[in-house]
Amino acid sequence: MKILVLNCGSSSIKYQFIDTDSRDALAKGMVERIGMSSAVLTHTPLGKEKIKIVGEILDHSIAIEYVIAVLLSKNHGVIKDKKEIDAVGHRVVHGGETFSGSVLITDHVMKALKENIELAPLHNPPNIKGIQAVLEHLPNTPQCGVFDTAFHVKMPAKAYLYGIPYELYKKYKIRRYGFHGTSHRFVSEQAAQLLGKPLEELKIITAHLGNGASIAAVNGGRSVDTSMGFTPLEGLLMGTRCGDMDPSVILYIMGKEGLTLSEANTLMNKHSGLIGLSGESSDMRELEQAVAEGSKKAKNAFDVFTYRIKKYVGSYIAAMGGVDALVFTGGIGENSTEVRKAVCEDMDFLGINLDQEKNLSREELLISSEDSKVKVMRIPTNEELVIALDTEEIVKEQLVAQSVE
Ligand code: AMP
């Protein structure tokens, strides 16, 4: 099948057009600055040069129209007819407690997505806009929603409840949801394949380390705990987010600096983390460069980042009663030899032994030493492929159900 995978943000849409048989992205691209007169569409067909189109794209509907047009275009397109788009798969950030798996978008699902807007006020509205735009331009094409939260929804109550009055959980659905679920699911499945063992028999810790970062304990193929919480702010230190912190800190700063709720939110989400601590950069490559040049603040930021990952690894080993594999993914997890080295340092007492040479290699996926009890891996994530494969499966199931009726 050929699936258009969309990740719709408030002013941007990322897309990939994936052939699920070959697993290739036949084209990928992005529309940026939606709502402005100088919006930009960049588009790269498989094996060809990237092209860039600048124009007025005032809303998501027009952006989707452009994406379809460029997929169809004579010189840069990859299809001849809209009908070649078999289905559309959307990344949807928040499925709340409603969705524990990917779903076909129906009126009922749209209603539930709208009910979850309060939980993800920045992310779910553009996801919904994207679905509506596709409905306008491809009214007969099935659409599926694949949720960042779904993989974690069934974690045990002891992992998802916060220590606040239970009524508040019931009233406002305040609990740990966790994010990056498609990535944690994908790399844990890949790890099992690489080990040649059934996922059901494995205890895996997956560390998705990118600009946003989270870590998950995956026991028998199920997420049993994860570091992001009610929002993607909790847990690990991130590029611009503070991660775990005594909640009183923010109340104290608000009092001292006279910050509004919105300013406090911006402080924790945009000016903290690696950029906040280092004052240099939120980007790990730049930060590592600054460390190499002797910046103490950059070194502090790097140390807090890796120390926190190490602490989570230890706690998830305790939570699962052991671990078979530790997987690094995301831009930092896949590429930073320094981060992986620092996280795995002095962990041999837990059976974690990194092979320093393999860690430096760009090709090796299994990077632990031969005798390491815990297998350490770097596995490139592919969230778009997961969305495409889930969408294909749902659409095929629907076709079978229709043929039975
Ligand atoms: P992502 O959000 O998954 O795209 O990851 C982005 C992060 O990955 C940024 O902090 C980048 O600096 C980091 N990154 C990408 N390549 C490398 C590399 N070779 N070494 C260290 N960090 C990297």
pLDDT tens digits, 179-197: 999 999 999 999 999 999 9
For the cut 90, the answer to whether the pLDDT of residue 259 exceeds it is: yes
For the cut 80, the answer to whether the pLDDT of residue 80 exceeds it is: yes
202-156-167 Cα angle (round to 5)? 165
Q: How far away, in angstroms, is 209 Cα from ligand 1 center?
A: 8
pLDDT tens digits, 305-362: 999 999 999 999 999 999 999 999 999 999 999 999 999 999 999 999 999 999 999 9
Q: Which of 24, 148, 246, 348 is catalytic?
A: 148
The rounded percent of the chain whose pLDDT value lies above 90 is: 95
Q: How far away, in angstroms, is 53 Cα from ligand 1 center?
A: 27
**Ligand 1 pocket: which of 228, 240, 285 to mutate (most atoms <8 Å of CB)?**
285
Ligand 1 atom, smallest distance to 211 CA: 2
Q: How far away, in angstroms, is 335 Cα from ligand 1 center?
A: 7
Contacts of 338 (CB under 8 A, 6+ apart): 288, 302
Q: Whose CA is nearest to atom 19 of ligand 1?
A: 335
Give the confidence band of 390 by pLDDT, cuts at 50, 70, 90: very high
Position 297 scores a pLDDT of: 98
Q: How far away, in angstroms, is 340 Cα from ligand 1 center?
A: 13
Q: Whose CA is nearest to atom 9 of ligand 1?
A: 283
- The more confidently predicted of residues 248 and 122 is 248
Q: How far apart are CA 126 and CA 338, in angstroms?
A: 36
Q: Nearest Cα to 204, choosing from 316, 370, 364?
A: 316
Q: How far away, in angstroms, is 76 Cα from ligand 1 center?
A: 29
pLDDT tens digits, 34-69: 998 899 999 999 999 999 999 999 999 999 999 999
Q: How far apart are CA 288 and CA 336, in angstroms?
A: 9
Domains of the chain: 2-152 (3.30.420.40), 195-383 (3.30.420.40)
First to last CA, the chain: 23
Ligand 1 atom, smallest distance to 212 CA: 2
Give the confidence band of 368 by pLDDT, cuts at 50, 70, 90: very high
Q: How far apart are CA 331 and CA 337, in angstroms?
A: 11
Are 145 and 109 within 8 A, CB to CB?
Answer: yes
For the cut 90, the answer to whether the pLDDT of residue 116 exceeds it is: no
Q: At residue 238, what are phi and psi to the nearest 5 degrees? A: -125, 180
CB atoms within 10 A of CB 397: 11
**Ligand 1 pocket: which of 238, 284, 302 to mutate (most atoms <8 Å of CB)?**
284
- Annotation says 148 is catalytic: yes
